[in-house]
Amino acid sequence: MDQAGTSGSPLIELRGVQKHFGGVQAVRGVDFVIPAGTITGLAGENGAGKSTLLKILAGLHQPDAGEVWYYGELQSGLTPSLAKKAGVAYVAQELSLFEGLPVSENILIGQEPMWGPFVNRRRLNAEAKRALDIVGSQIDPDAMVRDLAFADRQLVEIAKAMVGSPRVLVLDEPTSGLRQAEVGRLIELMKDLKKTGCSVVFITHRMGEFFEACDRMTVLRDGAHIATLGIEEITPSQVVDLMIGRQLAEVFPAKQVTEPDAPTGDALVMKDFSVHGTRVRAVTVSLQRGEVLGIAGLAGNGQTELLEGMAGVRKATGDYLVGSSVGPFRSVRSALRAGVALVPEDRKRHGLVLAMAVYRNLTLPVLRGLSHWGLVNGAREGSMVKDVISAVQITPPDPEVPVESMSGGNQQKVVIGKTLLTEPDVYLLSDPTRGIDVKTKFEIYSLIRRLAASGKAVVLVSTDLAEITSLCDRVLVMAAGRVVAELGGDHINEREITRASFEAVAL
């Protein structure tokens, strides 16, 4: 594809950049150019490699292979502070402000104007105010970050990047919390920068922002560069196509016919379900036995929190019936008793106690049932563990090793095995195949299908559209904590799901 929209020599160039994490290739052989005086949008699905690419560009990650060029000079040993000194300012998705310090000190931290040994307060505030004006924020530089709303914090983070007049502004999802007017101001800022010959590259999930701000767009898919086009050459619909158009290489197990004597009927009914402390509101869903329900949508829109509310990890309100048990559940224990179990999204922090042995992780939720007078029945535990290990094919089949010594895929199998042992009627799976090798993924898919066939109900949250479309009987799309679409039958395809996710967000 052509690299379009150039004007003069490029400010930044990435050539053949590669990066992998563990067993997953995040960026494969990407060539990426940022010409001077341009605004480039970087688009792609979750996991396409956008954030990683920008982090490599800004010196936060070292690429396994490939080159990074600043202003026509090859960079070696690039670090975030070197990048910043070279005029490449990076704003991460996750904010890194210090709550206990005022805005002005956050903006100029590490480079405060001094007056002898003391910080020159007046100049500090003046320079902070200048940076805030540039991003169009009225925030008082003396205000404590702790007291600021998320949107204001995002603006402070961007103001921090503007200190020192950067030549290249790199923004990873800068508008996620901003209101319409603030987004507009930010886009104006980008255009102002462009006029001075500087460039901007940013990631967003709002199609409208791309088309309003950018001169050119780059689309990534599965870590590879797919296309870079001028904004006049493409339509939103085509962007979506480029983002998802892939051959389904993985073979999914066929949708099985339900076993004849498997239970049927409602497994779970929710009405007006809201989860405390999150954006999840007014979710109304019912789930049948033998059904696999997918929950799609852009990451971070409440899917995980919904499942956590359903499983008793978070407090929730609303009408919630699981089998014959009335929720919402105040603890994981009561949810398990009702027959709802969760495979958490973060297996290392929530799904497993890493330093503990495999068998201890597996039986942790069901110890009560394995004990007489409080003492654990070693023999029963041993055989239970053996059965589960072979059922889920955990390798190596050694129950006594600490879980942290296992591969990601096998660790996930331990989490799943643990859930199987609690014998729930409803399985809630939160991104179960993230960061896992293909072979294990397939085993997990087969397992999901088998569970459904035997009359269990499964809720699958995933950002992998191939998974969702191939495994699920019904798909809900969530955005900003609410269910915005319900798709069934032929409507379950990547295009419609993506469109529903985007449409909901573009205001």
Partner 1 sequence: MTATPGGTAAVGLKPRATRADRLRQLVPVIVLVVMYAITVGIAPGYLKAPQIGSLLQLASILGVAAVGQTLVILVGGIDLSVGAVVTMTNLMAAAIIANRDTSLPVALVVVLGIGALVGLGNGLLIQYLKVPDLVATLATMTIVVGVGLLFTHGSPKGHSSPALNALVTQRFLGVLTGGVVIWAIVAAIVIIFLRSSAGGRYVYAVGLNREASRYAAVPVTRTVILLYVASGLTSALAGFLLTGYTGSAYLASGDTYQMQTIAAVILGGTSMFGGRGGYGGTIIGVLITVLLVSALRVVGIVQAGQDIAYGIILLSMLVLLTRMARRSA
Partner 2 sequence: MRTARNYLRREPSVLAAWVVLAVIVGIWLAGTSNLSVLSVTIMVGQKVPLVLASIGAAIVIMSRGIDLSVGAVLTVVNTIIAAGTAAHGNSVVWIGIGMCVALAAGAVNGLCVAMLRLPPLIVTLAVQSILLGVALYVLPTPGGQVDGWLKDLPLLLVGPVPLMLLIVIAVPLVTWYPLRRSRFGSALLSSGADEGAAYASGINVKKTVVSSYMLSAFFAGLAGVIMSMNTGSGDPTIGVPFTLNTIAAAVVGGVSLAGGRGTIAGPIAGALVVSFIGNLLFSIGVNSYWQYVVTGAVLIVAIAIPVGLRAIRAGRQAS
Beta carbon nearer to partner 1, 92 or 389: 389
Binds 141: which of partner 2, partner 1, none (CB < 5-8 Å by kind):
none
Binds 80: which of partner 2, partner 1, none (CB < 5-8 Å by kind):
partner 2
Q: Which residues contact 82 (CB under 8 A, 6 or more apart)?
A: 59, 75
Q: Where are the alpha helices (DSSP H) in 198-278?
A: 207-213, 236-244
Beta carbon nearer to partner 2, 101 or 224: 101
Q: How far apart are the first and last CA of the chain?
A: 31
The packing angle between helices 408-421 and 438-453, to 10°, is 20
Instruction: Choose, by CB under 8 A, the member of 187, 385, 475, 500 that binds partner 1.
Output: 385
* Strands (E) located in 165-315: 168-172, 199-203, 216-221, 224-230, 266-275, 283-288, 292-296
Cα–Cα distance measured from residue 384 to residue 488, given in angstroms and rounded to the nearest whole number:
38
Q: How far is the CB of 270 from partner 2 (least distance, A)?
A: 18
Q: Is 282 in the site for partner 1 (CB under 8 A)?
A: no
Binds 351: which of partner 1, partner 2, none (CB < 5-8 Å by kind):
partner 1
Cα–Cα distance measured from residue 14 to residue 53, given in angstroms and rounded to the nearest whole number:
9
Q: Which residues contact 324 (CB under 8 A, 6 or more apart)?
A: none
Instruction: Choose, by CB under 8 A, the member of 351, 417, 424, 432 that binds partner 1.
Output: 351
Q: How far is the CB of 371 from partner 1 (least distance, A)?
A: 5
Residue pair 109/145 in contact (Cβ under 8 Å)? The answer is no
Instruction: Choose, by CB under 8 A, the member of 73, 94, 261, 400 that binds partner 1.
Output: 400
Instruction: Choose, by CB under 8 A, the member of 401, 423, 438, 488 that binds partner 1.
Output: 401
Q: How far is the CB of 139 from partner 2 (least distance, A)?
A: 13
If residue 10 lies in a helix (H) or strand (E), which one and from where to where?
strand 10-21
Residue pair 137/152 in contact (Cβ under 8 Å)? The answer is yes
CA distances, 401 to each of 99, 398, 406 (Å)? 41, 6, 9
Binds 385: which of partner 1, partner 2, none (CB < 5-8 Å by kind):
partner 1
Q: Is 277 in the site for partner 1 (CB under 8 A)?
A: no
Instruction: Choose, by CB under 8 A, the member of 77, 110, 260, 374 that binds partner 1.
Output: 374
Instruction: Choose, by CB under 8 A, the member of 28, 153, 418, 474 that binds partner 1.
Output: 418
Q: How far is the CB of 80 from partner 2 (least distance, A)?
A: 7
Q: Is 387 in the site for partner 1 (CB under 8 A)?
A: no
Instruction: Choose, by CB under 8 A, the member of 379, 489, 490, 507 that binds partner 1.
Output: 379
What are the backbone dihedrals phi and psi of residue 15, each rounded to the nearest 5 degrees, phi first?
Answer: -120, 120
Q: Is 298 in the site for partner 1 (CB under 8 A)?
A: no
AA letter at 199:
S
If residue 426 lies in a helix (H) or strand (E), which one and from where to where?
strand 426-430
Beta carbon nearer to partner 2, 97 or 364: 97
Q: Is 330 in the site for partner 1 (CB under 8 A)?
A: no
Residue pair 277/326 in contact (Cβ under 8 Å)? The answer is no
Cα–Cα distance measured from residue 114 to residue 338, given in angstroms and rounded to the nearest whole number:
62
Beta carbon nearer to partner 1, 139 or 338: 338
| DSSP tally for the chain: helices H, then strands E | 17, 24
Instruction: Choose, by CB under 8 A, the member of 60, 376, 391, 480 that binds partner 1.
Output: 376
Q: How far is the CB of 276 from partner 1 (least distance, A)?
A: 15
Instruction: Choose, by CB under 8 A, the member of 126, 354, 391, 506 that binds partner 1.
Output: 354
Q: Where are the alpha helices (DSSP H) in 367-473?
A: 367-370, 378-392, 408-421, 438-453, 465-471
Binds 375: which of partner 2, partner 1, none (CB < 5-8 Å by kind):
partner 1
Q: Is 236 in the site for partner 1 (CB under 8 A)?
A: no
Footprint of partner 2 (CB under 8 A)? 80-81, 96, 98-102, 105, 109-112, 114, 117-119, 121, 140, 142-144, 146-147, 276-277, 315
Q: How far is the CB of 64 from partner 2 (least distance, A)?
A: 22
Cα–Cα distance measured from residue 5 to residue 399, given in angstroms and rounded to the nearest whole number:
58
Instruction: Choose, by CB under 8 A, the member of 253, 300, 365, 408 that binds partner 1.
Output: 365
Place of tokens 């679409």: 485
Q: Is 428 in the site for partner 1 (CB under 8 A)?
A: no
Beta carbon nearer to partner 1, 8 or 382: 382
What SS3 class is residue 245? Answer: coil
The contact set with partner 1 (CB under 8 A) reads 313, 331-333, 336, 342, 344, 349-357, 359-361, 364-365, 367-368, 370-371, 374-379, 381-382, 385, 398-402, 418, 422
